Each structure stands twice: as structure tokens, then as C-alpha cells.
């Protein structure tokens, strides 16, 4: 793409195109991503949050077949995120029944509570997987296989950029 293509006169990218505006193959299916942000009261809580995350992830992977993967990310010393991939919304609902999640979530609310706001500083967003790049590689995580099963396609047909020339 060159600078001339990035003008206000360019047409809107159609939602029914097989490729997204970022040149990623659009996919169907029900794979979702949930990201939760925690702003901790003290940096001393960060290692405890990480240990709690590891416990919860271990339990969830053993009890919720729809959890594809979960990771823990940090932003400074007092802010962390969990990012998780799920096969569908039912798996996310099932996660709510994982005992360690319930226990540590209640504990976490206390560690994120802001007295000035009179509430915890924690929020989540939930996205449905809409498009994937042709170089989707994540060791130990096979999103293509999940999508292939959901869409009734061969794994080789998922996210390989085969529609790019048709855009």
C-alpha cells in the first residue's frame, strides 16, 4: 500500500470481502478472545496475581475443554492483563464455575479496589475472532484446527490467504 491509497477518498472496505482491510482472511466460527485488565493497589500484589493466574489456568485447562489458551501480560508494576482464547461462549460460561477462578476472583477484587472510586479497577472485553493472518503460528495452540472443526473445512483451508487475489 502506498500513500496515495490512504486518502479520505478511498472506498469503505466491504464487510463481505473475504479479506479484512489488514489483508487477513475473514473467518466464521465461534472462537472468542477475552481480555481482562487489573490495576493493582500495590506492586507487591503482582507476583501473587501471576501465581493465582497459573493456578486458575491449570484448573481451567483441566476442567473446561473450550479453553484454547490463556496468557498473563504486564504493563508496568501495578497493571496486568489476562488474555484467553475460547472455542465458544459456552466455554466462557463454564469457566465461571471453576472453583479456583471464583476464589481468586473474589481475592482479586480486594487487590484492585480503589477507595477514591469506591470500586475495583478491573474491566474485561470480549471479541469474536473475525479474521486471521496467514502466518498464524503459536506453539502449542492450534486455532486453525478449532476453526476447521467449527467450519467443516480442512485445516489447510483456514487462514492461508487463498482469497487475497480476489479482493
Enumerate the domain spans of the chain: 30-130
Instruction: State residue 166's pLDDT score.
Output: 43
- Using a pLDDT cut of 90, give the percent of the chain over it: 56
Whole-model pTM: value is: 0.82
Burial (CB count within 10 angstroms: exposed 0-12, middle 13-18, buried 19+), residue 68: buried
Which percentage of the chain shows pLDDT scores above 70? Answer: 89
Tell me what pLDDT residue 51 has: 96
Grid cell digits, residue 5? 491509497
CA distance 49 to 99: 16
For the chain, first and last CA: distance in Å?
Answer: 14
Grouping H, G, I as helix, E, B as strand and the rest as coil, residue 98 is coil
**Tell me, which fold does domain 30-130 have in CATH?**
Alpha-Beta Plaits (3.30.70)
pLDDT tens-digit series, residues 64-108: 999 999 999 999 999 999 999 999 999 999 999 999 999 998 888
Q: What is the mean pLDDT of the chain?
A: 88
Contacts of 6 (CB under 8 A, 6+ apart): none
**For residue 165, pLDDT beyond 50:** no
- Classify 152 as helix, strand or coil: coil
Instruction: Report residue 7 CA to chain centroid gap.
Output: 31
Q: Is the pLDDT of residue 130 over 70?
A: yes
pLDDT band of 24, cuts 50, 70, 90: confident
Q: How far apart are CA 130 and CA 157, in angstroms?
A: 16
Amino acid at each position: 500500500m502506498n500513500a496515495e491509497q490512504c486518502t479520505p477518498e478511498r472506498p469503505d472496505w466491504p464487510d463481505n470481502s473475504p479479506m479484512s482491510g489488514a489483508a487477513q482472511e475473514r473467518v466464521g466460527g465461534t472462537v472468542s478472545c477475552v481480555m481482562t485488565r487489573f490495576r493493582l493497589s500495590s506492586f507487591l500484589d503482582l507476583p501473587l496475581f501471576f501465581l493465582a493466574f497459573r493456578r486458575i489456568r491449570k484448573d481451567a485447562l483441566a476442567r473446561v475443554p473450550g479453553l484454547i489458551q490463556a496468557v498473563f501480560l504486564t504493563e508496568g508494576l501495578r497493571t496486568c492483563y489476562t488474555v484467553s482464547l475460547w472455542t465458544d461462549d459456552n466455554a466462557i460460561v463454564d469457566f465461571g464455575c471453576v472453583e479456583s477462578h471464583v476464589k481468586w476472583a473474589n481475592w482479586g477484587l480486594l487487590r484492585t479496589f480503589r477507595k477514591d472510586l469506591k470500586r475495583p479497577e478491573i474491566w474485561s472485553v470480549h471479541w469474536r475472532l473475525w479474521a486471521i493472518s496467514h502466518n498464524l503460528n503459536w506453539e502449542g495452540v492450534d486455532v486453525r484446527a478449532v476453526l476447521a472443526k467449527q467450519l467443516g473445512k480442512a485445516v489447510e483451508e483456514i487462514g492461508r490467504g487463498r482469497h487475497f487475489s480476489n479482493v
